[in-house]
Amino acid sequence: MLSSKMNWKLHKSEIDDSVSKEISQATGLSEKFVMLCMQRGLETKEQIKAFIDGAEMEFHDPYLLHDMDKAVHRLTEAIEAGEEIVVYGDYDADGITSTSILVETIEVLGGNVGYYLPNRFTDGYGPNATAFKKLIENGAQLILTCDNGVSGHEPIAMAKKMGVDVIISDHHELPDDLPDAYAIIHPKHPAGSYPFPDLSGAGVALKIAAALLGEMPYESLDLAAIGTVADLVSLTGENRWIVKQGLQVMKQTQRLGLAALMEAAGIDAANLDEESIGFIIGPRLNAVGRLEDAGPGAELMLSFDEVKIAELVAYIQEKNVERQGIVQSIHEEASAELAKNESMPDVVVLGSKNWHEGVLGIVASKLVEEFGRPAILFRINEKTGIAKGSARSTEALDIYSALTDSKDLLAKFGGHKMAAGMSLPAADLSAFTEKINSYAADYHDAIVLGESIYIDAMLPLDDVTLPFLKELELLKPYGTDNPKPIFGFQNVPLTDIRQIGADNKHLKFKLKDKNLFLDVIGFNKGSISNHLNEADVVSLIGELSINVWRDSAKPQLQLKDIKNKHVQFFDKRSSVIHDSVLAVEDALYLFSTSGIMKQFYERIPNSSNAALLTDNTADALQDVSASNLVLFECPLKMNLLADLLKSNKFENVYVVSHESNSVYADGIPPKDQFAKFYQYIRSHKDIDVRNRLDALAEYLKIKKNLAIFMIQVFLEAGFVTIDNGFINEVKNPVKRALDDTQVYKDRLQKMEAEKVFIYSPFSQLTKWLNEQMMVQ
C-alpha cells in the first residue's frame, strides 16, 4: 500500500452549472475552465475577462499611500540640496530589487545616493543601530528604508537624535507601536486608505519611484516583478498587473546585469514566466544573502560595467551552487537522523553545530514536504551557546501559537502560522522539543493527515487536451492566492516506470486508460518507484502543463502526491543485497536460516523486527504488528508462509528471496544414483565422510551437496550409521521408501518454494501471494 503524504481536499463546488454554461457560451471558453475561474471568485464574464486579459492598467495613485506626499517632499528636497541619501534595504530578493529601484530612481533625478544591505549574520533583519550609526558618521543625511523598518524603534530614534531623518518604506506586519520616523509608507498603515494592502517591498518602492518621477517607471517593472514573485505576496489585483507587465519588460530587458544572469541561468527570454523568477532568478539573488553579503545582488542590477557584470554573475552562480550543495547536505543529514526514529514525532526538531543558519528554512520546507510534519531546524553556536532556528509548518499546526506556548524557553521568536524564526540556549533544546511536541499532541490527528492540498477538479484522461492546457495558461501568472490548479486522477493504471536524472532522484511514468496516455514527472520523487509496479492502479494529484520537446508538444502532469489502497508487492530479487532492501521501516524481516539472520539483523531499521520462519517458530508469528513484510530469504516451505500471510495484514511485501544454498537447480538425484551410492557404502567399511567426502563425490560423479543430501536420507531411513565421521551400512535394515523420509520431503518443498520465489515471473509470484493474503 502506498499512502499519500498530503491531506487531499477536493474544492466543494456550489456553482450553478447553468451559470458556468452561459458564461462559457458567451466567452468561448470551455466550461471546465469557467468552473475553475468561478472557484477562484471570478463570478461574472466581465470579471473573468478582466482577470485573464490584464491589459487595463491597475496601478493605484501612489499618493494614496500614507505619508507619500511628505516622503516625496523630503526626498526631493534632499536631491536638490545634494544631501547624501542612503537606501537601507534587506538581504533577500525583494530587498535587493526594492533597493535597486529606489537607488536607480534617485540617480535619474540627480540625487547623491548610496545603499546598504544589512548582513544576515552580523546585522540581522531590519534597521540595526550599529549600522545606522556608522552610516551617519560616514556622512548619511537621509536614510530611506525599503522592505524593512516598521519594527526598528531604537535605531530610528537614535538617527533622529543624531539629526538624520529616516523614511520607512515597508510591507511587513505592522506592530501596535510604530517607530518615530519622519515618514512611514506602508500599504496597511492604520492612518491610510490604500486600496491594495498586499504590495511587496519592491511594489512599495515602485510606488515611491512613480511619485518621485511623476509618471509610471516602466523600466523598473522588471525589478518589481522579481521582488513581488520572490516574496510570495498575493498575486492578485495590483500585484498581478505589476508581474504581468514586468514579465514583458524582462523579455526584452535593457538591464545588462539581469540579462546576463538570465543567460547564465539558461532562461529562454521568449518562454520566461513567473516560474522563471520563482525557481531560477529569485533563488540566485537570495543565495548571496543567505550565505554571505547581499550587496553583489544589488550591484548586478544597477551596473553598466560589462566586465564587472560578468564577475558578479559568476559569483552569484557560484553562491547558488554552493547554497544548493549546503541544502542537500543538511537535508540528507536531517533525513538520516529522522530515519533512526522508531516513530515520527508530531513536530520534527533537529539541530547541529555544523548546519548553516542561512538555509535552514529551505531545508525545513523540504522536510515538511517529505515527511508531512512541522519541522524546526537549529544551528547551534558552540561559542555563544545559542541555537538559532527556522520553522516551517503545515495547516494542522499554528507554529507561532506553538512557539508562544514555549516562550519561557525562548530568547526571542517571531513569525506567523506557517513559518517562524527563534533562538534559545542550546542547553534547552531537549526541553523545548518535549514542550512543543506536548503542545502539538492535541493536534496529532490533523498533523498525521499531512499537509493539506486542495484539488481543483478530478479529471478523466480524455479531458487532458492541449486546448484545455492552453486555456489554463490564461490564469498565469500563478502565485499566492492564485495558485496553479491541482488536478486529480482516480484509479488509473500506470506503465513505463523509470527513475531518471542524477542519482535517479526523479520519477517518470505514464498513466494509461485504454489507448490514452499521460506523461507524469515527479521531481525529487525517485524513491517512490520502489513502491510502484507495472500496471498498478493508483490515484494521484498534480499540476498539468504542456511539455515541448523537439517541436513536439504534449500534456504532462507534475506529480504532487500519489496513493494506492491495495497491497503492493515489490520485486527486489537480486544476486546482490542492496541497501534499500535493508532500509524498510516498520517491517517484519523474514529469514529461513539463523546464520543469514544473524548476518543482517543489525543492519535493519530500529522500527523493524526480524524472525525465523520454521516449523518451530510459525505459531509465534501470528498477528504480527508491522505494516511491511520483507521476505529476505526464500521460504523453506510455502505452507508456512501461506499460514503467516493469512493471519497477518501487511500493506507492502518486498520479495528479496536471497538464497545462499539453492537446491532447485540440482533437484533430486535419480533412483539409480541413490542405488549406486548405497551399493558403494555396502561394499566399503568405515568410509571417512568427514575428510574424504570431496574425493568420494568425485569418484561417484555426484555433486558434493547431493552426496550430503543422500547421506541424510540414508541416515533418516535407517540404512546407515555415522560414528565419529565414519559411515557404515546397517545390516538388515527395516525396509522404507526413501521418498518417505522428512529430509526428502523437505527438499521437495524447498525446491517448490525456490521455483516460485526465485525462478518464476514476478506476476506469477504476486498472484500466489495475493491469493494467500485474500483468504482471511
Please list the residue range(s) of the chain that carry CATH number 3.10.310.30. 341-447
Does pLDDT of 55 surpass 70? Answer: no
**What pLDDT does residue 57 have?**
75
What's the CATH class of domain 62-319? Answer: alpha beta
pLDDT score at 503: 81
Q: Determine whether 370 is exposed, middle or buried from the number of CB atoms within 10 Å of its CB (0-12, 13-18, 19+).
A: middle
Q: Round to the nearest angstrom and report the end-to-end CA distance of the chain.
A: 18
Q: 109-142, pLDDT tens digit by residue?
A: 999 999 999 998 888 888 999 999 999 999 999 9
CATH 3.90.1640.30 domain position(s) in the chain: 62-319
**Pairing mode, if any, of strands 720-723 and 609-612?**
unpaired
What letter would DSSP give residue 472?
A: H
- CATH topology for 341-447? Diaminopimelate Epimerase; Chain A, domain 1 (3.10.310)
For residue 360, is pLDDT > 80?
A: yes
720-738 average pLDDT score: 94
Q: List CB contacts of 468: < 8 A, sequence separation 6 or more.
A: 30, 32, 33
13-22, 60-69, 330-339, 421-430: segment of lowest average pLDDT: 13-22
The residues with which 516 forms a beta bridge, in sequence order, are 513
Reply yes or no on whether the pLDDT at 216 is more than 90. yes
Asked if 446 and 501 touch (Cβ cutoff 8 Å), the reply is no
Q: What is the pLDDT of residues 664-673, one digit of tens each?
A: 989 999 999 9
Mean pLDDT of 268-287: 94
At 56-94, the pLDDT tens digits run: 678 999 999 999 999 999 999 999 999 999 999 999 999
Domain 671-740 fold: Arc Repressor Mutant, subunit A (1.10.10)
What's the rounded Cα separation, in Å, for the pair 222 and 257? 12
In the sheet that holds 687-688, the strands lie side by side as 687-688, 726-729, 720-723
The x, y and z cell numbers of residue 608, run together, are 523493524
**Over the stretch 664-711, which tens digit does the pLDDT of each residue have?**
989 999 999 999 999 999 999 999 999 999 999 999 999 999 999 999
- Confidence grade of residue 369 (pLDDT, cut at 50, 70, 90): confident
Strand-pair partners of 89: none
Q: Enter the pTM of the model.
A: 0.78
Question: Strand, helix or coil at 30?
Answer: coil
Q: Could you tell me which CATH class the domain 6-45+453-563 is placed in?
A: mainly beta
Instruction: Look up residue 91 and give its three cell numbers.
Output: 538581504
Of 13-17, 370-374, 607-611, least confident by mean pLDDT is: 13-17
CA distance 749 to 472: 60
Q: What is the full DSSP assignment across 442-467?
A: GGHHHHHT-EEEEESEE--GGG--HH
Which of 587, 588, 530 minimizes the C-alpha distance to 562? Answer: 530
Q: What are the tens digits of pLDDT across the range 143-181?
A: 999 999 998 999 999 999 999 999 999 998 888 899 999
Q: What is the pLDDT of residues 477-532, one digit of tens each?
A: 999 999 999 999 999 999 999 999 888 889 999 999 988 999 999 998 887 887 78
Domain with CATH 3.40.50 in the chain: 568-661+755-774
User: To the nearest whole number, what is the mean pLDDT of the chain?
Assistant: 92
Q: Which residue has the cell 492540498?
A: 453
Residue range(s) of every CATH 1.10.10 domain in the chain? 671-740
Helix, strand counts (H, E) of the chain: 27, 26
Greatest extent of the chain over all pairs of C-alpha atoms, in Å: 126
Burial class (CB in 10 A: 0-12, 13-18, 19+), 686: exposed
Q: Is the pLDDT of residue 648 over 80?
A: yes
- Residue 775: predicted pLDDT: 54
Could you give the CA distance from residue 641 to residue 754 in angstroms, rounded to a whole number? 13
Decide: helix, strand or coil at residue 543. strand
In this predicted structure, what is the pLDDT of residue 665?
86
Residue 101 pLDDT > 90: yes
Q: Per residue in 445-471, pLDDT tens?
A: 999 888 889 999 999 999 999 999 999
Domain with CATH 2.40.50.460 in the chain: 6-45+453-563
237: how many CB neighbours lie within 10 A of its CB?
A: 16
Say which CATH topology domain 568-661+755-774 has: Rossmann fold (3.40.50)
Rounded CA-CA distance 362/390 in Å is 9
* Exposed/middle/buried for residue 93 (C-beta within 10 Å: 0-12, 13-18, 19+): buried
